[in-house]
Chain A
Amino acid sequence: MSDWITITIDGKEIQAKPGELLVDAAARAGIHIPVFCYHPKLDPLGACRMCLVEAEGRRGKMLITACTTPVADGGVYYYESERAVDARQGTLELILINHPLDCPICDKGGECPLQDQTLEHGPGKSHFWEEKNHKAKHYPLSDLIMLDQERCIVCWRCIRYLEEWEDKPQLGLFHRGGETVIDKFPDGKLDAYTSGSIIDICPVGALTNRLARFSYRPWELEKTPSICTHCGMGCNLRIDSRTHRIRRNVARENAAVNDEWICDKGRFAMGFASHPERLQEPLARINGELRPVSWPEALDRVVRGLKRVVETHGPAAVAAIGSAKLSNEANYLLAKFMRGVVGSNNLDFREGSAVVADPRGIPSLADARDADVIVLMGCDPGEEMPVLANFLKRAVLRGGAKMIIVHPRAIELTQYAAAFINPTIGAESAAFDALTRATLDASDAIIPDWLPEVEEAAQVAGISVEDVREAARLLSQAKRPFIVYGVDYAWGYGARNLVTALTNWVVAAGHGERLGFLHSQANALGAADMGMAPDRLPGHRPLSDARARRELEARWQTEIPTQPGLSYGAMMASTPDRIRALYLMGADPVGEKPADAKALAELDFLVVQDMFLTESAKLADVVLPAASYAESRGTFTNTERRVQRAPQAVRTVGKSVADWAILMHLARRYAPDKKDAWDTPSVDAIFAEIAEVVPAYRGMSWENLGESGQQWPRDAVSLSRELRPHSGAAIPPSPDYPFRLVVGSLLWDGGTVFAATPQMAGLARQAAWLHPDDAARLGVQEGDAIEIRSRGGSIRTFAHLDPSIKPGSVFAPYSFPAAPVGNLFDDYVPRTSVAIEKVT
């Protein structure tokens, strides 16, 4: 242990790391020095004076704060000395004099560091006879967080969190001395996307969760270590429930994934679990109306309906759509049911095969935190993954990382970018050609003849040559780059060319192995791993791989059809000609694109398995009520290939059943002869089967995933990366549809899961974003109703003017049911040409 130094605390020798804080060194040795203002994830402040210990100094023993003192080799400290104990008692007595001591009705009571430390270190008696200071109580900081200034002990943790992790100093101190309070700007907002973290780190009950307060005592809570399924990051959280209702979510530490933070969507958007509109029992269409039926009857109807189509039109007339929000087990069983029981390869999910994703996701989330260069192409972590966005900001602000952003609009992270490249929409591949060429020009590599000159390509892309050269230089010189692209550039017109072009740049810079795709959906990577694709078997093995097929056939007691199935878009387009029956699991095509209602209405048979009576479910022949992820057990695979557990936290609603169980029972009824292949009576058993048939998951089991999950090895799926020509020509402008549609996600959208939490309704704001100059030309002002039209359809929404929008484009976010952008896509792809009109 040559790197360690020795210090002495209360006469006991302790090994410590040079330069670490005394409070941390002591904790490792089992001495837990009490703290309030200190937090291991925040810069030391030294304000609360709780962690006083004595230190041997040049002028004898002196009191020091353990949270601000780096240990010195041979340092001698006294934690239990009479003076140190007395000093801590003194601090605690002072902290308590103006604290209201309303523990009996305080949400924090029972898990409150102030309570606990008072018990352990407090003087046991107060000498305070005066009137306490009065300050604001139940003061809402936002729709989500309540502040009680009297309980606050002014430790600054919340202020520092927002400054150091969010770079959004939205809370601060006001007044001074004994009147000091935490406050926000009077007309200001506390709207940082991870603002709820300050509730977790508040050492008293000053900051409380408005959606949870007064609904539990901490000691009565059932605490289930789980994960969040709102995005592809897979942040670890804990679901706290009481009487089978989720009371709150709190962050759970996973150093490799989310550190100890979660975003506000993950924390607060939990209303889906106990929503009154949740489906309570199976429904079947009887005499044209959906009516409650029993489970056996519902399943029999599904079996009969599907069999009738298979018998009449063949198994290839049946299709199924899975979900990137549902577990590996659910998606695996749906794929197994379709291929192994029905006999069809028509399998896909939204943003599934249409997206040119890297099946291995990103190399690692942890890379983001110590990267020296960050490249974001067509993804917006600020809205899609707020916790990752904070890591990236911090890498720039504290680690000196350089950020390069290539995006159709200026996103929040743009302010941290060393280079922001904003190519003409529809000509993005030219921008990457310019970057590739600039990279190769600056090296001694051979330049392929198909690559245009920098100036030429830059002109096509409408970007500056200086920016291109700067970005190319930064990435070429990077040592530990974090390079990701997202769905904005991997989906839609010319996406395949675009991804080839952006890959070329990264390959040219010598970082091909570092490039990754940032999956924005919780289990998009897992669903693909499970074979939820028309031409891929579980484990990303091609359908044409005969050996892979044989292995599965043996396991599934079946024969797998060799003809590749249809993709999501193709399924919708070929109804009812080729597709006569559709099985939707957690998918709502009509909600995404109301125009698809026509295709669904023409089906012979439609099954919808969902939590809610979605727009698609309203057209169904049978509706099967599914349990939410919190009510069932399952594994999810995040964008860095980390397979994580989400155990059941609360009981199911009504007669709803977990997705995997519905599918298992359905398969057993459909094919009683294959009972052995469907002997999977638990998630653990299904996962064991997955671990056998998906090579990358080999060796995993529910047990050994543990509380922080396991990553499947990146080399389990090989992908060659080299310079490749592409045929990416700019999409020509269309005179009738002069605007280019940019789509993307906002954290606060109007999606089902989010809308199910009514307390958050005020956060989402439906709008299409326009550049003020374009708006002026159209005679449109902020908030005006506008119509956006494409060849395919139209939506109505409201204008929001923002100078960061590229002139000539309009940004319309997904997941606002009243303005379903899917209606605008031709053949279900974004980057469409549209026209905009003011609605009068």
Chain B
Amino acid sequence: MLSDTARSEIQALMGRYPQPRSAILPALYVAQREIGWLPTEAMDEIATLFGMEPMEVYAIAGFYNMLYKEPKGRYHIEICTNVPCKLRGADKMAEHLQKRLGVGFGETTEDGQFTLDHMECLGSCATGPMFFVRRSGSDWGRYYEDLTPERIDAILEDLLSGEDWPMERSPAGPYHHDHHPETNFLLARIDKPDSHTIESYLADGGYQTAPKVLAMSPQEVIDEVKKAGVRGRGGAGFPAGVKWGFIPKDLYPRYLVVNADESEPGTFKDRLIIEYDPHELLEGIICTAWAIQAHYAFIYIRGEYMFGAQRLNQAIAEAKARGFLGKHIFGTDFDLEVIVHRGAGAYICGEETALLSSLEGYRGHPRLKPPFPAVAGLYAKPTIVNNVETISHVRHVLEHGADWYRQWGTERSPGFQLICLSGQVKKPGVYEIPYGTTFRELIYDMAGGTVDDRPIKSIIPGGLSMPHILPDKLDIGIDFESLQQAGSLLGSGGVIVICEGENIVPITRRTLGFYREESCGKCSPCREGVGWMEKILKRVEAGQGTLSDLDTMERVTKYIEQQSFCPFGPAAVWGLQSTLRHFRSEFEAYILETNPDQEKPSLPARPIYRPYVGEPLENMLDD
């Protein structure tokens, strides 16, 4: 079923990784590009190539959304309906699309041109509403942003015309971004033409830090980063230098894994670096790999960032051509291979152990800790997993020194960081700000205030997972400690602003819908509980809620929060817990208004279980 070209491409991919099984996702992409989807025969063939049981390939394909188990139309349109886009009118666009194409979600138009799906956050929250289009049987896929009904019509026309829109966009594309007057480092270059090329990067003084770092001892590098206090930007805020120090002595090989699986709704900062200044990241990778003495660095990038992956591969090729990557980099004895590994649509793979499972060629289920990745990570070897932004900071810290870095921020949150501002503000975008900048400064001074100057109802301060805070906290600093004191967390730095006039019930319901969709299914509380919470919220929204539902949700979310296997569980319910806490009266009012008699929901008809059901269920219910 697979062509010889595809088979040899897969074999080449297997050779790129220390363990060939890691090439399973790339191999499935190759097959999907060729066939348009993944028939079982293709999976069977791939299993043979990898020496695996077909079941293993099937189980992997079944985990990832971007791998198709059935044929799709020529264009697959996935419109983001997650909270940040929803706040910017995604539901209306989704409705328009359905009407225009004459199909519902999950359906394909009769002419086979379009398959329509609703999607979770695609990391384009400041430019929402947006959709992602992929063309079947190709590597072509791109985002269409800032949608309006007219724009949608035009885009569909263009797609039908058969013309290829370039995946590439003008410098920094339609992104809004701005910076604090003092801190403009990570995003300093992204407005320049061709900022992604190595020539542009070198002209701005790039690749001068790496050779300096390679002349230092690895311990000196670790000490400097420790001293700067660079905290992880992926969500947990763990100090990078301290993490690097956990690697056991004399255990080799070691691996660096760059977490570019930016999937937390409301977060889109890493994408800017990847697409518009990839060499900044690569230089950070060189410094980090030297510090931990890793000869392989993997960039695990979410599958939807097709353009970003392309840019990274270009940048790696450029750097290799100049001897900055590969064997004997910068003329030293140090070798470093950087491999871009595309995920395939699974939020959980942003969790570091799930990411490692995925990178090893398994379903992206989180693993037991301990052992921590620094001790036994990728292929059970010491592995450091750091976020894209964290590694980009490393490059600047090592250029200017720890003291320079510490001039900004607070004692325990030193430096600056990229904040993704989305929701109902005038200028949503990525802001590079020192820690400690207040929400008021960010939202009102830098982003020009809220849409239509409506009062703020609630703020999600660190990506959709984090508990909401109320506008009385507008004057607290944006840093790890202040947010913790305010009952939330900084998370991945995705600030989502919700204004008065929004109903909290659908927002909360949509939040849970995301986590139900993305739960990996490993542990019972998360697998069963999150879906349950969404079912209750859907019922409440539909006007069949009772006040006791609120108690049930309070009680059950406690179980999900405290006894799930990995941090996904708490992340899934913090939003609900906080809205129940802050907006309980609104929930109550909604329930009493829509279900004034507090009628209990009718129990659904239970199917009759018989040893053998040979006839349709309806017939059996009659007798």
Name A residues whose Cβ lies closer than 8 Å to a Cβ of B.
44-50, 52, 63, 68, 87, 90-91, 93-95, 97-98, 100, 102, 105, 127-134, 137-138, 153-154, 168-180, 183-188, 213-214
Q: Does B562 lie within 8 Å of A87, measured CB to CB? A: yes
Known contacts A90-B556, A185-B58; A180/B527 CB under 8 A: yes
- CB-CB contacts of B49-82 with A at 8 A, as 1s and 0s? 0001111111100110000000000000000000
Residues on the B chain within 8 Å of A177, using CB: 516-521, 527, 530-531
B416 CB → nearest A CB, Å: 30
Known contacts A98-B528, A102-B609, A186-B40; A48/B519 CB under 8 A: no
A475 CB → nearest B CB, Å: 28
The residue that A178 contacts in the complex, of B52, B516, B564, with Cβ under 8 A, is B516
Residues on the A chain within 8 Å of B528, using CB: 94-95, 97-98, 178
Alpha-carbon gap, A47 to B564, bound state (A): 8
8 Å CB contacts to A: which residues of B130-144? none
The residue that A129 contacts in the complex, of B55, B63, B601, B612, with Cβ under 8 A, is B601
Most B CB contacts (10 A, CB to CB) among A46, A68, A133, A214 go to A46
Residues on the A chain within 8 Å of B43, using CB: 185
Alpha-carbon gap, A134 to B224, bound state (A): 56
Q: Does B363 lie within 8 Å of A130, measured CB to CB? A: no
The contact sample of 14 A-B pairs, CB cut-off 8 A, is A46-B368, A68-B368, A90-B555, A94-B556, A102-B609, A130-B604, A134-B607, A137-B613, A168-B53, A169-B52, A174-B62, A178-B516, A186-B40, A187-B40
Q: Does A188 lie within 8 Å of B525, measured CB to CB? A: no
Q: Does A105 lie within 8 Å of B609, measured CB to CB? A: yes
* CB of B332 within 8 Å of the partner chain: no
B470 CB → nearest A CB, Å: 28
Residues on the A chain within 8 Å of B611, using CB: 105, 138, 213-214
Segment with Cβ contacts to A, from B147-155, B168-176, B532-540: B532-540
Q: Does A87 lie within 8 Å of B522, measured CB to CB? A: no
A164 CB → nearest B CB, Å: 14
B244 CB → nearest A CB, Å: 22
* CB of B563 within 8 Å of the partner chain: yes
Residues on the B chain within 8 Å of A175, using CB: 62-63, 521
Known contacts A130-B535, A178-B530; A94/B559 CB under 8 A: yes
Residues on the B chain within 8 Å of A176, using CB: 62-63, 346, 348, 363, 518-521
Q: Does A94 lie within 8 Å of B40, measured CB to CB? A: no
Alpha-carbon gap, A105 to B563, bound state (A): 32
Q: Does A127 lie within 8 Å of B368, measured CB to CB? A: no
A574 CB → nearest B CB, Å: 53
Residues on the A chain within 8 Å of B612, using CB: 138
B61 CB → nearest A CB, Å: 9
* CB of B432 within 8 Å of the partner chain: no
Residues on the A chain within 8 Å of B368, using CB: 44-46, 68
Residues on the B chain within 8 Å of A49, using CB: 523-525, 563-565
| 17 new A-B contacts at CB < 8 Å, known A132-B604, A177-B527 | A45-B368, A46-B565, A47-B524, A90-B559, A91-B559, A91-B563, A105-B610, A131-B604, A134-B607, A138-B611, A154-B522, A174-B58, A176-B363, A177-B519, A178-B527, A183-B62, A186-B58
Q: Closest 9 CB pairs between A and B?
A: A180-B521, A172-B59, A90-B559, A177-B519, A178-B531, A174-B62, A185-B54, A131-B604, A130-B535
Alpha-carbon gap, A295 to B122, bound state (A): 84
Q: Does B56 lie within 8 Å of A129, measured CB to CB? A: no
Q: Identify the closest chain B residue to A186 (Cβ).
A: B40
Most A CB contacts (10 A, CB to CB) among B524, B564, B565 go to B524
Q: Identify the closest chain B residue to A106 (Cβ).
A: B609
* CB of B145 within 8 Å of the partner chain: no
Most A CB contacts (10 A, CB to CB) among B62, B525, B528 go to B528
8 Å CB contacts to A: which residues of B1-59? 40-41, 43-44, 52-59
Most B CB contacts (10 A, CB to CB) among A48, A186, A187 go to A186
Q: Does B524 lie within 8 Å of A48, measured CB to CB? A: yes
Known contacts A177-B516, A187-B44; A172/B55 CB under 8 A: yes
Residues on the B chain within 8 Å of A68, using CB: 368
- CB-CB contacts of B604-619 with A at 8 A, as 1s and 0s? 1001011111000000
Q: Does A188 lie within 8 Å of B609, measured CB to CB? A: no
Residues on the A chain within 8 Å of B539, using CB: 129-130
Residues on the B chain within 8 Å of A132, using CB: 604
Alpha-carbon gap, A46 to B559, bound state (A): 16
The residue that B529 contacts in the complex, of A94, A100, A134, A171, with Cβ under 8 A, is A94
Alpha-carbon gap, A95 to B529, bound state (A): 9
Q: Identify the closest chain B residue to A83 (Cβ).
A: B562
Residues on the A chain within 8 Å of B609, using CB: 100, 102, 105, 137
Q: Does A188 lie within 8 Å of B53, measured CB to CB? A: yes
- CB-CB contacts of B397-433 with A at 8 A, as 1s and 0s? 0000000000000000000000000000000000000
Residues on the B chain within 8 Å of A153, using CB: 524
A626 CB → nearest B CB, Å: 36
Q: Does B532 lie within 8 Å of A97, measured CB to CB? A: yes
Known contacts A49-B525, A91-B559, A94-B525; A173/B363 CB under 8 A: yes
Known contacts A129-B600, A129-B601, A154-B527; A179/B56 CB under 8 A: no
8 Å CB contacts to A: which residues of B562-616? 562-565, 600-601, 603-604, 607, 609-613
Alpha-carbon gap, A170 to B53, bound state (A): 7
* CB of B558 within 8 Å of the partner chain: yes
Known contacts A87-B562, A94-B532, A94-B559; A169/B527 CB under 8 A: no
* CB of B217 within 8 Å of the partner chain: no
- CB-CB contacts of B531-559 with A at 8 A, as 1s and 0s? 11001100100000000000010011011
Alpha-carbon gap, A7 to B564, bound state (A): 25
Residues on the B chain within 8 Å of A46, using CB: 368, 523, 565
Known contacts A138-B613, A173-B59; A87/B517 CB under 8 A: no
Residues on the A chain within 8 Å of B523, using CB: 46-49
Residues on the B chain within 8 Å of A63, using CB: 562-563
The residue that A91 contacts in the complex, of B524, B601, B613, with Cβ under 8 A, is B524
Q: Does B521 lie within 8 Å of A172, measured CB to CB? A: no
B342 CB → nearest A CB, Å: 18
Alpha-carbon gap, A48 to B532, bound state (A): 17
Residues on the A chain within 8 Å of B527, using CB: 154, 177-178, 180
B561 CB → nearest A CB, Å: 10
Alpha-carbon gap, A413 to B528, bound state (A): 41
The residue that A188 contacts in the complex, of B55, B519, B531, with Cβ under 8 A, is B55
Q: Does B63 lie within 8 Å of A169, measured CB to CB? A: no
Alpha-carbon gap, A739 to B86, bound state (A): 74
Alpha-carbon gap, A137 to B56, bound state (A): 22
Q: Identify the closest chain B residue to A148 (Cβ).
A: B609
Alpha-carbon gap, A518 to B120, bound state (A): 59
Most B CB contacts (10 A, CB to CB) among A129, A169, A175, A179 go to A129
Known contacts A105-B609, A176-B519, A214-B611; A184/B524 CB under 8 A: no
Alpha-carbon gap, A49 to B524, bound state (A): 7
B548 CB → nearest A CB, Å: 8
Alpha-carbon gap, A133 to B607, bound state (A): 11
Residues on the A chain within 8 Å of B559, using CB: 87, 90-91, 93-94
A214 CB → nearest B CB, Å: 5
Q: Identify the closest chain A residue to B519 (Cβ).
A: A177
Q: Identify the closest chain B residue to A52 (Cβ).
A: B563
Alpha-carbon gap, A226 to B128, bound state (A): 69
Residues on the A chain within 8 Å of B604, using CB: 130-132
Q: Does B531 lie within 8 Å of A133, measured CB to CB? A: yes
Alpha-carbon gap, A41 to B564, bound state (A): 24
Alpha-carbon gap, A270 to B225, bound state (A): 69
Residues on the A chain within 8 Å of B522, using CB: 47, 154
Residues on the A chain within 8 Å of B44, using CB: 185, 187
Alpha-carbon gap, A168 to B56, bound state (A): 10
Alpha-carbon gap, A68 to B612, bound state (A): 39
